[in-house]
Amino acid sequence: MSSDSGLPAEPARTPAPDEPEGSRAAPDASASACSPSPLQEIGASIPAAIPNVGKTGEAPSPVCPGTGAIPRRCGPRFQSWQRVIVTGLLLAGLGVGGWAVWDEWRFRATLSRARLEAERGHTQAAIRALEWCIQRRPEQREVILLSAQIARRSGHLESAENLLDQYWQLYGDEEPLVLERLLLQAARGDVDAVAARLRERMQRNTAERRLIQEAWISGLLARFRWGEAGQFLTQWLADSPEDPWALYLFGRLQEQRDDVEGAKEYYRRLVESDPEHDEARQRLAQLLVQTRHGEEAEPHVRFLLTRLNPPPREVQVLWARTLVLLGRLDEAQAALDAVLSEHPHYPAALAERGKVALFQEQPGEALRYLAEAVHYDPGDLAIRHQYAMVLSQQGREEEAAQQRKLIAQLEADGERIKALIEGPLQREPNNAAIHHEIGMIALRAGQITEALRWFHSALRIDPQHAPTHRVLMVYYEESGQPALAARHRALARDTDRQKTEDSSKIQPPP
């Protein structure tokens, strides 16, 4: 038999039969304190991994040469610790792997729930589920895309566009991004620009039909194109009578038309078929409070307070308004003070707090709250009416007269907007001049976000609309955004120059 080194093994020494036992050579002292070599240490672990090695079928045990003794480091205690360490490592590996599997399952389940809530129109519930996913994987494809979709449906169109830009930077122009960009453009009101492509997609892929219909109708409502929106919604409900998005959008259409009772009916119908549709329930409660039906509104608002945790400030103020209608002024005051402790400049809470102070015969407090509300929301007619009344009650007639003058201007502007929307805008939805005029009225009322929306829609219709470029130039200069101001200044100048050149070409020769 050969050794591992390839050299012949040294034969075992056999004593002569007549050799005295005591004459045998004593073993080397170093061998009795045998310490295995590194190779022996490696070999000691082989039987555990490869059993039944050897001619006899038994796993050999490492022994010290000469004595046959098991070395101390290779004894049963050491092997026991080996087993403990290996078992611990295996359990740790299983634990890490199990955690990874469980975390992946939880992420997928939560994302699936967010997607389902979004499909049902449960925006708040979808946001709550999606926030958990964003914390763990903010750059995951579906997370970014669903975030953009929910932002679009919530009316936060700039946020939606930023999210789609992020998706493009990470993953390029993939098919889901192409569709969502088309839907965003439609939701902005540019329906005509994408109508042909969206119709083609609806015919080619019926699974996208509902998504496209929702964005398309939202865009029509953004442009106040009521006739077309009504036709789409009537057909949608004929095909799917209980579709939550169709019912919700029909309610929004009726609100725009000032048909409060009609809007209530659509929202009631939706809440009855889907009690967890928070947006429909909130809008129904707002209309009930607006029409002074506090008793009917109370259970709806209480449901929202319980379900939305924490409830948004709009719902908290709605609860306070409901309590005022029910005569529970102390509770209303406590609710409003809680909102103002977190949102001290929230106009709706300030105005309602002033109203409560007025009912509690605290005119000084009422005046203070209402003055702040007017400062932060100068275009709200109801707040200004309350403010003017309290000023008059306090004997500050000159200031009250000034407020009444502003109220008259706001009322005239409101009538003009209503006339534009119900008349010229219905006939000419793509007339940039009409969009510009509505934007100017909103700007005068201090409704900056609404004004900018109309100005940008005017430029999407006519990118060379010089009056809109000029007003945006002034706005961005005054708001400390010189780069945007310079851009609109240059565009206005180029447009004016082009118009001058065009007019000179058609002048008759002298």
Q: Tokens 């809007």 belong to which residue?
A: 263
Domain boundary among 144, 160, 188: 188
Residue 176 included in any domain: yes
For 167-185, what is the mean pLDDT? 94
For 358-381, what is the mean pLDDT? 94
Residue type, 472: L
For 153-176, what is the mean pLDDT? 93
Angle, CA of 27, 30 and 35, to the nearest 5°: 120
Confidence of residue 499 (pLDDT cuts 50, 70, 90): low
Considering the chain, what percentage of its residues have pLDDT values greater than 90? 65
Give pLDDT, residue 205. Answer: 82
- The answer, yes or no, to whether residue 110 has pLDDT greater than 80, is yes
C-alpha to C-alpha distance for 360 and 351, rounded to whole angstroms: 14
Q: Considering the chain, what is the average pLDDT of its residues?
A: 84
Convert the pLDDT of each residue in 44-74 to its tens digit: 443 344 344 444 444 455 555 555 554 555 5
Residue 446 included in any domain: yes
Give pLDDT, residue 497. Answer: 67
Give pLDDT, residue 184. Answer: 96
Residue 451 included in any domain: yes
Confidence of residue 90 (pLDDT cuts 50, 70, 90): low
C-alpha to C-alpha distance for 319 and 297, rounded to whole angstroms: 9
Q: Closest by alpha carbon to 326, among 293, 361, 360, 285?
A: 293
- The answer, yes or no, to whether residue 158 has pLDDT greater than 80, is yes
Give pLDDT, residue 496. Answer: 66
Considering the chain, what percentage of its residues have pLDDT values greater than 70? 78
Give pLDDT, residue 510. Answer: 47
Convert the pLDDT of each residue in 214-245 to its tens digit: 999 999 999 999 999 999 999 999 999 999 99
Q: Closest by alpha carbon to 157, among 126, 176, 185?
A: 185
Residue 173 included in any domain: yes
C-alpha to C-alpha distance for 465 and 456, rounded to whole angstroms: 10
Residue 175 included in any domain: yes
Domain boundary among 133, 163, 188: 188
Residue 140 included in any domain: yes
- The answer, yes or no, to whether residue 400 has pLDDT greater than 70, is yes
pTM: 0.75
Residue 488 included in any domain: yes
- How far apart are the two ends of the chain, measured CA to CA in Å? 123
Q: Which spans in 423-465 are helix H?
A: 424-427, 432-444, 448-461
Domain boundary among 156, 188, 220: 188
CATH of the domain at 452: 1.25.40.10
> What's the total number of domains in the chain?
2
Most confident range, picked from 239-243, 316-320, 486-490:
316-320
Confidence of residue 88 (pLDDT cuts 50, 70, 90): low
More confident residue, 29 or 483: 483
Q: Which spans in 188-273 are helix H?
A: 191-204, 209-222, 226-239, 244-256, 260-273
- The answer, yes or no, to whether residue 275 has pLDDT greater than 60, is yes
Residue 481 included in any domain: yes
Give pLDDT, residue 51. Answer: 41
Which domain covers residue 438, as residue numbers?
Answer: 432-499
